[in-house]
Chain A
Amino acid sequence: MGGSLDPTVLNIVVFVLAVFVGYHVIWNVTPALHTPLMSVTNAISSVIIVGAILAAAPNETDFGAVLGIIAVGLASVNVAGGFLVTQRMLAMFKKKQK
């Protein structure tokens, strides 16, 4: 055993743990909230915007940067849309008013 750790191995560790956490958290989601779950996961997966920002900002602007900027735009629609529509839906789930 020796040598440096391949980043891919570290990525796999993170990946497996995250799937494990996801599995346990998602099974606890109440079925009534499955639609908000879908919209909020949508918003969360648009954290891909981080990759888009990096793609959009190389030292020299080339076509990759242009694609990055487009990707930033697309992901932003989801970030804002996903969280806000989830908020709107969740606000509807109220207790009975007496």
Chain B
Amino acid sequence: MSANQLTLWYLAASILFILALKGLSSPVMARRGNLFGMVGMGIAVLVTLAVVSRGNLAAILLAMLVGGSIGAFVARRVEMTQMPELVAAMHSLVGMAAVLIAIAAVNNPGAFGVAAPLPTGNKLELFIGTFVGAITFSGSVIAFGKLAGLGKKFRLFSSAPIVFPGQHWLNLTIGLVMIGFGVAFFLSPEQAWVPFIVMTGLAFMLGFLVIIPIGGADMPVVISMLNSYSGWAAAGIGFSLNNAMLIIAGSLVGSSGAILSYIMCKAMNRSFISVILGGFGAEEGAAAGGAEQKAVKSGSAEDASFMMQNAESVVIVPGYGLAVARAQHAVKEMAQMLAAKGVNVRFAIHPVAGRMPGHMNVLLAEAEVPYEQVFEMEDINGEMNTTDVVLVLGANDVVNPLAYEKGSPIYGMPIIDVHKARTVLVNKRSMAAGYAGLDNPLFYMDKTMMVFGDAKKVVEDIVKSMH
């Protein structure tokens, strides 16, 4: 196959990738879009294999078989509640692959049809692709550990922010030194292994250090950011190999992750920089612990059940607590029973509920909650004041009315206005403060009733009492 033909096939694959993303504009089109994506990938891999049909083909096919089987196995077995961890793990693989390819390119540019020694322009791009890939890898490993709850065993993966004095200066210094070595690699006329390796090593370190101070509930931003990085790493590699398809695919992914990060930051009313610098919730958390005890009304699952059955409209607000308790199926059953009794049941989803963008939607979809019942925050907030009962399941900061009070740390954050509903039921495991470390005035309102306990247990009890 000629280089021209190859490039045209790559063009076809690129278009299919764009269609795959375009399909996600509605659940109906999305599955077809995903098929387009698969076909695109198939084309990309097959035509590339056709070009290299010489030595090592057997080893390549074996690696694809082994890797593909692992991927397929994991994809089939993973639970929907574990999706954030899975995505983080997959980002790390892209990052690592980018680094390995970059090393191979420094070692033997000829294998990629690039002139040897590497032209200066390609070196610059290779340097960028490598350090972005390395940061993606180590950052994703930490994010994976935090999301998978490995913090109990290894403090490194603690979901609480790990902060120490001089942290940001250390990171900045490492970053600058890393770039310095990158420039040295770029400027040296020959294969410059030493600066390349030092730079890559520092980038790995930087990835770890940048993610450890970021706490669990900021993970939607982190995971979107790493998603973006994995795309930029692929694009960087595409630049150094002069491969347009890699550039296109990488840029699509890069912009997707960047837009998601932006949406997540906006939903928390925090700047990207403040999230990345981390440490949020580390100090305020201690302060909230000392707050005076105020009286809350608490009730049983039966009370909650009674109130919901007698309501005309119920809005359920799921949060991370629902994912932890894996309560999605129980919630679906409850919603179905309420609907059967003539109650108008809807779900309200905050953009940062859970640990990754769209986390709650996937859990509800898994439990077969029809998506017509699932509303985004801005679409349902206007109807909160005519809602009879709101049931908050394991969410806290996203329904905290302090967001309307000037001077509070979450001032300006868009929230689901559950405090406007006639009655509010809040399920939580305990009175512990949320991620932001803030007390929540919602819990002390006259119309609020707390239902303490594990989300799944409580919802199952509600279902039982409805029979």
Whether a CB of chain A sits under 8 angstroms from the CB of B356 is yes
Number of chain B interface residues as a range? 35 or more
> B41: which of A37, A38, A79 is its contact (CB, 8 Å)?
A79
Interface residues of B in 185-242 (CB under 8 A from A): 223-224, 227, 230-231, 233-235, 237-239, 241-242
Residues of A within 8 Å of B238, CB to CB, are: 11, 51
> A65: which of B22, B104, B234, B349 is its contact (CB, 8 Å)?
B104
Contact B101 A52 (CB under 8 A): yes
> A38: which of B94, B227, B245, B351 is its contact (CB, 8 Å)?
B227
Interface residues of A in 41-80 (CB under 8 A from B): 41-59, 61-65, 67-80
> A33: which of B27, B104, B233, B249 is its contact (CB, 8 Å)?
B27
The B interface is mostly helix, strand or loop, or mixed, namely: helix
B358 closest partner in A (C-beta): A34
Contact A64 B107 (CB under 8 A): yes
> How many angstroms from the CA of A68 to the CA of B106 in the assembled complex?
12
Whether a CB of chain A sits under 8 angstroms from the CB of B1 is no
Contact A88 B59 (CB under 8 A): no
> A19: which of B34, B251, B361 is its contact (CB, 8 Å)?
B251
Residues of A within 8 Å of B69, CB to CB, are: 80
> B90: which of A25, A77, A91 is its contact (CB, 8 Å)?
A77
Contact B68 A80 (CB under 8 A): yes
Interface residues of B in 129-151 (CB under 8 A from A): none
Contact B254 A19 (CB under 8 A): yes
A76 closest partner in B (C-beta): B67
Whether a CB of chain A sits under 8 angstroms from the CB of B365 is yes
> How many angstroms from the CA of A70 to the CA of B99 in the assembled complex?
11
Whether a CB of chain A sits under 8 angstroms from the CB of B324 is no
Contact A45 B80 (CB under 8 A): no
Whether a CB of chain B sits under 8 angstroms from the CB of A22 is yes
Whether a CB of chain B sits under 8 angstroms from the CB of A2 is no
Chain A 1-43, CB-CB to B under 8 Å as 1, else 0, gives 0000011101100110011011101111111111111111111
Whether a CB of chain A sits under 8 angstroms from the CB of B346 is no
Contact B357 A88 (CB under 8 A): no
Contact residues of A with B, CB < 8 Å? Answer: 6-8, 10-11, 14-15, 18-19, 21-23, 25-59, 61-65, 67-97
Contact residues of B with A, CB < 8 Å? Answer: 13-14, 17-18, 20-22, 24-27, 30-31, 33-34, 37-38, 40-41, 44-45, 48-49, 51-52, 54-57, 59-60, 63-72, 74-76, 78, 80, 83, 86-87, 90-91, 93-94, 96-98, 100-101, 103-105, 107-108, 110-113, 121-122, 125, 223-224, 227, 230-231, 233-235, 237-239, 241-257, 259-260, 263, 349, 351, 356-359, 361-362, 365-366, 368, 370-374, 376
